[in-house]
Homo-oligomer: A and B are copies of this chain.
Amino acid sequence: MRILHTSDWHLGRQLHGRSLLADQAHVLEQVLDIAERDEVDVVLIAGDVYDRAVPPAEAVSLLGNTLRRLCVELGKQVILIAGNHDSAERLGFAAELLGHAGLHIVGPLTAEPRPLTLVAAERGGHTVSAIAVDFFGLPYAGPAQVRQTLGVEVSSHDEAMGALLERVESARDHSRPCVVMAHCFVAGGEASDSERPLSLGGADQVAGDRFAPYTYAALGHLHGPQHRGAQHIRYSGSILKYSFSEARQRKSVTLVDIDGAGGVTIAQRDLKPLRDVRIIEGSLDALLATGHTDPAADDFICARLTGSGAVLDVMGKLRAVYPNALQAVRLTRDSGGARFGAGRDVLKQSQYELFREFYCHVQGEGMSDAQQRYLQSLLQALQQEGSL
């Protein structure tokens, strides 16, 4: 059975106030192509399919259209769990009806997780045989929700996941391969700036070996593709770079082949963005000179500027050649010659994103352009006066 594992689509998300809808549609075309060309049987989407509980109507249309093409045009089975950015109730609308068309959405947490058993022809053999795999989709749920829904005493995300997996253990058929989908932060995972913390102070971390007993753990939440502890406990990563801290990541989807003996083979398929998210570095003059002939001048750009002279309207000059320049950072050298500024910038960026998310969460809609500009200037001013 061939599985395509993806997660963290964050449809409707913006990057520094710029819409990414065209970029998201662009890579989703590639996901559809891969599902078709690689003859995938099942597509797993491990949460955060939307960027917020009430996504923009265009994001709803993009998701609906993509899922329709996967299920109806390509005939794939799709399993989708709610992440911490999604509203489980809204995402779970009419889930049982959608199951008839091969779209299996796991919205709100239920006390007794039930497996979805899918059957596919086994590949590579001389005789045709079938392989059945159990899939358990666990939507994102914090300790409080697990306490309430399962009626168990858990106080950390790790204990909550333990309680959920206990239910999975008693519901699974041990004669079959078993795939678990979860949306969580596995301890030791490499985070980036674009994930919303599940809780503060590290209490959100789940021990990776909890997933060791399963044939494959299809994880969502962390935006960089990575495995934790073993190859089969894996984050596919997001479909796009959602912050400059991900500039060096290669975004991809994961292909997982499961054979009748429960053996697993893993491959990655790269996704090529419509506009890359890049950090460029040099003097302003040098960057502008390069930019004039840069074939990818439409990329989203963070410029790290060397040189100490005061320059007026840096962003205006940059945008004359890089229209999607979103950020400029001045690099300075300390006595040892090391650069700093970037760490601080990441901090600012993170606070910007955090506040933006918080605003969305509270107001049910994103900040206006004017509000985003004000927030940016405020954070910049605080940084300049040393308060950040």
Instruction: Tell me the A residues contacting B by CB distance below 8 Å.
Output: 54, 57-58, 60-61, 63-64, 67-68, 71-72, 87, 89-90, 92-103, 363-365
Between A61, A92, A93, the greatest number of chain B beta carbons within 10 A of the residue's beta carbon is seen for A93
What is the distance, in angstroms, from A23's C-beta to the closest C-beta of chain B?
20
Contact of A97 among B68, B89, B363, B364 (CB under 8 A): B68
**Chain B proximity of A151: nearest CB distance (Å):** 21
- A132: shortest Cβ distance to chain B, in Å? 23
With a CB–CB cut-off of 8 A, which chain B residues contact A58? 89
Q: Complex formed: what's the CA distance from A92 to B92 in Å? A: 14
A270-B87 Cα distance, complex, nearest whole Å: 35
Inter-subunit contact B64/A95 (CB<8 Å)? yes
A94's partner among B89, B96, B103 (CB-CB below 8 A) is: B103
Chain B residues, Cβ within 8 Å of A103: 94, 97
A61-B89, A68-B96 are known contacts; what are 4 more A-B pairs with Cβ within 8 Å? A57-B87, A61-B93, A99-B101, A100-B101
Q: Which residues of B contact A363 (CB under 8 A)?
A: 363-365
Q: Hey, which chain B residues are within 8 Å of A92, CB to CB? A: 61, 64
Q: A90: which B residues are within 8 A, CB to CB?
A: 57, 60
Q: Known: A100-B100, A364-B365, A365-B364. Is A94-B64 also a contact (CB below 8 A)?
A: yes
CA distance A57 to B89 in the complex (A): 6
A63, closest chain B residue (CB): B93
